[in-house]
Structure 1
Amino acid sequence: MIISKKPRTYIPQDLAISWDGLAPLFTELQNREINSGIELEIWLKDRSELEAALEEDFAWRYIKMSCDTANEELVKNFQYFAEEIEPRISPLANDLNKKFVESPFMDDLDKEKYFVYSRAIKKALEIYRDENIELFTQLQVKQQKYQGITGAMSVEINGQEYTLEQASIFIKDLNREVRENAWKTIQQRRLIDKDDLNILFDELIKLRNQVALNAGFENYRDYMFQALGRFDYTPQDCYDFANAIEKEIVPILKEQAEKRREALGLETLKPWDLEVSVSGKPALKPFNNGTELIDKSIACFNAIDEKLGDKLAMMKANNLFDVESRKGKAPGGYNYPLAETGAPFIFMNSANSLRDLTTMVHEGGHAIHTFLTANLELNDFKHCPSEVAELASMSMELISMDNWHVYFDNAEDLNRAKKEQLADVLKTLPWVAVIDQFQHWIYTNPEHTAADREETFKQIYNRFGAGFADWTDLDHEFGNVWQKQLHLFEVPFYYIEYAIAQLGAIAVWKNYKENSEKALEQYLAALSLGYTKPMNEIYETAGIKFDFSAEYVKELAAFVKEELDKLG
């Protein structure tokens, strides 16, 4: 089935994304006379249609650039939007926000339907400043440099060139010398660009801090809590959450690390001993290439619910995947919603490992979310906070496990895969706490040096177990671990959401194990809401609590540990 864009009712079908084509539309929206609540709703839908077209145009520029970071033309196309289109839209969008909140017909709108939307518009107006437009443009362009630097990284192992993602497969090798050599080779390659990335990060911090000061905030952390619409928790809640993870999760992982050390017969665990299987068997290989990964994932989703499998099959038919790692491709993985088409694009860097399987089902969860919200009335209704978006993806990682037999030929490998996945679920929590606490420090201490930053990262990482390995004689590598986290460079403060959503996903999975039909129904119902309800109501619709208290962390960690113990 060919996926096509929804028919436009307001903007021209052949709208050119250039300022000459866009300006008249913004002018018309700004000048339009609105005489009733019905006309205000029509105005909102027309504005939404324009915004969806712009979002999709930007999406394709970003996708194409990240698929080939070495292509100068694609980089320029992305930069054109960032430098020529976005800065002009920003003040006009702010004017349209004012027009909306000042309309005497706002009170005629359905208050429940527009509560979340209106709240977000009012917050955007509060923090908007004209002088930040140029800074946002600079940030867009500078953040992209991270992709260019890291996308060019490759290493040679056994006379063959590999991307860092491809080379990481050697860190799972049963031969310890092979693992150590691969790990050190990758880290040495990262260290080559350490100074350039530090300089880039210093520039980003300076710009971000200025954005916050311009908007009347003491620091960028406090600004971002408002900009991200964190209405449901505070910075102090994040500190408390980190303390709960340190108290409840770190001891479990420390115990597991000790079991790993004993099973491998080692005096101490080094960083290159953390990924190898303790079974004494080679790393799991759930598929052989990108096409097989996509096909097996379609079969897996089909086994959960045929409607879900159909969505991935539609994506494959419409070339909405780029999954294999190659030189020049940006690192990481993402699901990018195409706002006008109502479908997503999945991007990742597969090296045929178990982690790639979990990445695919994770991004597949995001993809299902995109499809389920495609027909919501306003484009903004689809803009879910990350705590909801990541609930979609992380729940799918766990829900899908019951059907991972499509990736594995024998029960022993399937059992191993589930054990590794559940261990990773717990490992996610302290790493998220590390990155989140690191960002709190970075942006409340914006005058720090690169050396201060490295020292603080070490202290925070040590607090949460430092990966539960011995880093003796690896000081340079240890202090540079943070640079692999693209969120720090490209999407600041987007990380605590993974831990909040991970707890939610465990709760969804717990329900799924008790009553799969009901839990799946609740999960899909929650995703279908988009962002039309407050976050706690969306979690309630999913049959779970929006909660990250120490008691809840302890309860859910105990459940995961119990499930791990059942697997042997």
Structure 2
Amino acid sequence: MKFKDMPYERVDIEAAKKELASIMEAFQAAKSADEQLEVHRRYYALSGRMQTQMTIASIRHSIDTSDEFYEAEKTYYDQETPAFEHLAVQYRKLLYASPYREEIEKVIGGPAIRNIELASKSVSEEIIPLMQEENALVTEYEKLLASAAIDWDGDTLNLSTIIPYLNHKDRDVRRRAAKKVNTFYESVEAQLDDLYDRLVKNRTQQAKKLGFETYTELGYCRMQRNSYWREDVERFRAQVKKEWVPFAEEMWENRRKRLGLDVMYHMDEGVSFPQGSPKPTGTPEEILKSGQEMYEELSPETKEFFDFMMDGELFDVFSRPHKQVGGYMTYLPDYHAPFIFANFNGTAGDVDVVTHECGHAFQGYLSGKDPVMEHADITMETAETHSMSMEFFTNPWMEKFFGDRASDFLKSQLEDAVVFIPYGSMVDEFQHIVYDHPQMTPAQRKEAWKKLEAEYKPHMKYEDESSFYQGGGFWQRQHHIYSFPFYYIDYVIAQTDAFQYKIWMQKDYRAAWESYLGFCQASASDFFTNTVKAAGLDSPFEEGTIGKIAQGLREIYNKM
């Protein structure tokens, strides 16, 4: 079925709660592991049905944030789903307490049991009003950014469609675009400060009511950190500061010289070559067609997947007014269908949609064949390993997208991935500081960000007119900080896995691909740390891993 033809019906949350209560009753009455697993499949059906309808509504809202019908549906779910989520946690507690848990665990996996423990610590009836308020604040933030209407020579651009001008080869164009974006952020700075302040206080209050000292601990539970914890992440970031920041600074210096600049400002960072960063040579439609050809050649599994996506019109990637910024992959369980949302803007980022987001979608398509729902409940660093690795596995086909500038793209792709590691680590440390000190004022948060910039991006300079950024406000455009607290380090951890595949595929592409395919198929049947090792990769948390990867990438980069 094509996405546009998928029927939508609002989920009756009260009816769903009654159905779940019935399932809980039947689960407790079951007399064996087999009987309980049979009841558990009823939960799968209910959960899948709800998720499908809620996801359809969410997608259609993000496609057009001005659509009043789907805005009302989003508001309804923001208000009503926390109560259902609370009941779902009670159901999973029954599963955890089952006298047949050991037999059940053999079917659904150890991570699923650990996730129940984490989930049971993360919600209670007492905090439902706070969760509802948090949902509403996040929606308000996302709508605020989507409201950007930037005048550009008579056209109205949003924060996605202005990106080509921010990364334009002409520095004067970049400067002008940066001023326009800066003006928008300054116009909403007070609202951004207020929204984040309320989010920090709300989340801290939730944590206190659940018995946590700070929201940091609750945030880790909600991110399902089921195989590593804060201390591991702190050791990881320490390696980044010691081993990776100097490597990233080499990349920035190479770029500055290549651009012929005396001083590289922030507005220059998105440009990799004097003639401008490589851009796709085809139309948006041609990019998708080239993607289909690429995945047909890559493997039988990727051909089947991409044909399914195209036949079902499961992409919405063209930019339009009132469309939510950014991109994502989501999943429609009842149709076993991934869905990709993005905003094509004529930059190399359009190709990232066909590589990065398709990495997510490919794994989702594979896991949809697994009858155990819990195996699809992957943690985010696992999910981002799928997507970031796919960016590298598709490297041999980049001529389809960039023509004679494919080699330029590959060089800038590697540089961008390398310099991302310090930035992503900085975002994570910033959130630890904020939630460890929830009493900080907006001004103090911005001072903390400026201090971290000096540690993680020592080359960073802003021109005088960039007062919003100069004042430490850059983090406010990073929507993960508002919408998905503690998510961002998952990208960084995953990038180290993807780099290992990059190094591996230079030596033996097919062996690296078979490992990656197995990693995707494993999904959440085992813990992330175990799955990484089983795939033949080094754990990102082990001392020495970061330095080893940096050395391997230097060798590849020096041959480009």
Q: One-letter code of the match for 2:77?
A: F
Cα distance in 2 for partners of 1:347, 1:252 equals 33
Deviations 1:530-563 (A, max 9, x none): 2111112221232212223451111111222221
Structural mapping, 1:321-400, within 5 Å: 321-400=315-394
Are positions 1:63 and 2:59 aligned together? yes
Match for residue 228 of structure 2 among 222, 227, 233: 233
Is the 1:525–1:541 contact (alpha carbons within 8 Å) kept by the matching residues of 2? no
Is the 1:508–1:542 contact (alpha carbons within 8 Å) kept by the matching residues of 2? no
Match of 1:201 in 2: 196
Match of 2:494 in 1: 501
Q: One-letter code of the match for 2:129?
A: E
Cα drift, residue 367 of structure 1 = 0.4
Match of 1:256 in 2: 251
Cα distance in 1 for partners of 2:68, 2:8 equals 26
Match of 2:73 in 1: 77
Match of 1:459 in 2: 451
Match of 1:535 in 2: 528
Match of 1:28 in 2: 22
Cα distance in 2 for partners of 1:257, 1:510 equals 21
Match for residue 446 of structure 1 among 429, 432, 438: 438
Q: One-letter code of the match for 2:208?
A: L
Q: One-letter code of the match for 1:318?
A: G
Cα distance in 1 for partners of 2:332, 2:69 equals 22
Cα drift, residue 315 of structure 1 = 1.2
Cα distance in 2 for partners of 1:337, 1:192 equals 36
Match of 1:174 in 2: 169
> The residue matched to 2:365 in structure 1 has which SS?
helix
Is the 1:124–1:227 contact (alpha carbons within 8 Å) kept by the matching residues of 2? yes
CA RMSD of aligned residues (A): 2.3
Cα distance in 2 for partners of 1:460, 1:422 equals 24
Match for residue 420 of structure 2 among 428, 438, 460: 428
Q: One-letter code of the match for 2:448?
A: T
> The residue matched to 1:81 in structure 2 has which SS?
helix
Aligned residues: 557
Structural mapping, 1:281-300, within 5 Å: 281-300=275-294
Is the 2:359–2:389 contact (alpha carbons within 8 Å) kept by the matching residues of 1? yes
Moved over 4 A (4+): 1-6, 13-16, 470-473
Is the 2:203–2:215 contact (alpha carbons within 8 Å) kept by the matching residues of 1? yes
Structural mapping, 1:152-171, within 5 Å: 152-171=147-166
Q: One-letter code of the match for 2:112?
A: Y
> The residue matched to 1:174 in structure 2 has which SS?
coil
Is the 1:52–1:340 contact (alpha carbons within 8 Å) kept by the matching residues of 2? yes
Deviations 1:372-395 (A, max 9, x none): 100222322201001110000000
Cα distance in 2 for partners of 1:344, 1:358 equals 17
Structure 1 residues 105, 131: closer, same or farther in 2, change over 3 A? same
Cα drift, residue 163 of structure 1 = 1.8
Match for residue 469 of structure 2 among 460, 468, 477: 477
Structure 1 residues 417, 125: closer, same or farther in 2, change over 3 A? same
Identity of counterpart residues, as a percentage? 25
Match of 1:114 in 2: 109
> The residue matched to 1:268 in structure 2 has which SS?
coil
Q: Which moved more, 1:17-26 or 1:141-150?
A: 17-26
Cα drift, residue 287 of structure 1 = 4.0
Is the 1:244–1:549 contact (alpha carbons within 8 Å) kept by the matching residues of 2? no
Deviations 1:111-140 (A, max 9, x none): 375322122113322443221122112111
Structure 1, unpaired ranges of 5+ = 7-12
Q: Which moved more, 1:317-326 or 1:360-369?
A: 317-326
Match of 1:215 in 2: 210
Q: Which moved more, 1:553-562 or 1:483-492?
A: 553-562
Are positions 1:546 and 2:544 aligned together? no
Cα distance in 1 for partners of 2:348, 2:263 equals 25
Q: One-letter code of the match for 2:441?
A: T
Match of 1:409 in 2: 403
Match of 1:101 in 2: 96
Structure 1 residues 361, 155: closer, same or farther in 2, change over 3 A? same
Is the 2:158–2:321 contact (alpha carbons within 8 Å) kept by the matching residues of 1? yes
Structure 1 residues 521, 336: closer, same or farther in 2, change over 3 A? same
Q: Which moved more, 1:322-331 or 1:263-272?
A: 263-272
Is the 1:171–1:180 contact (alpha carbons within 8 Å) kept by the matching residues of 2? yes
Match for residue 307 of structure 1 among 298, 301, 304: 301
Structure 2, unpaired ranges of 5+ = none
Compute the TM-score of the two structures, normalised by the length of structure 2. Answer: 0.94
Cα distance in 1 for partners of 2:387, 2:440 equals 35
> The residue matched to 1:156 in structure 2 has which SS?
strand
Cα distance in 2 for partners of 1:4, 1:521 equals 35
Is the 2:8–2:56 contact (alpha carbons within 8 Å) kept by the matching residues of 1? no
Match for residue 557 of structure 1 among 539, 550, 559: 550
Structure 1 residues 16, 275: closer, same or farther in 2, change over 3 A? closer
Match for residue 505 of structure 2 among 504, 512, 527: 512
Cα drift, residue 110 of structure 1 = 5.1
Match of 1:10 in 2: none
Cα drift, residue 20 of structure 1 = 5.2
Structure 1 residues 52, 265: closer, same or farther in 2, change over 3 A? same
Q: One-letter code of the match for 1:462?
A: A
> The residue matched to 2:57 in structure 1 has which SS?
helix
Compute the TM-score of the two structures, normalised by the length of structure 1. Answer: 0.93
Cα distance in 1 for partners of 2:268, 2:413 equals 17
Match of 1:40 in 2: 36
Structure 1 residues 2, 156: closer, same or farther in 2, change over 3 A? closer
> The residue matched to 2:239 in structure 1 has which SS?
helix
Cα distance in 1 for partners of 2:198, 2:262 equals 43
Is the 1:336–1:346 contact (alpha carbons within 8 Å) kept by the matching residues of 2? yes
Is the 2:111–2:527 contact (alpha carbons within 8 Å) kept by the matching residues of 1? yes
Structure 1 residues 467, 391: closer, same or farther in 2, change over 3 A? farther
> The residue matched to 2:169 in structure 1 has which SS?
coil
Deviations 1:139-190 (A, max 9, x none): 1122111221111113122332222222221233332212211122122212
Cα distance in 1 for partners of 2:432, 2:154 equals 42
Match of 2:46 in 1: 50
> The residue matched to 1:563 in structure 2 has which SS?
helix
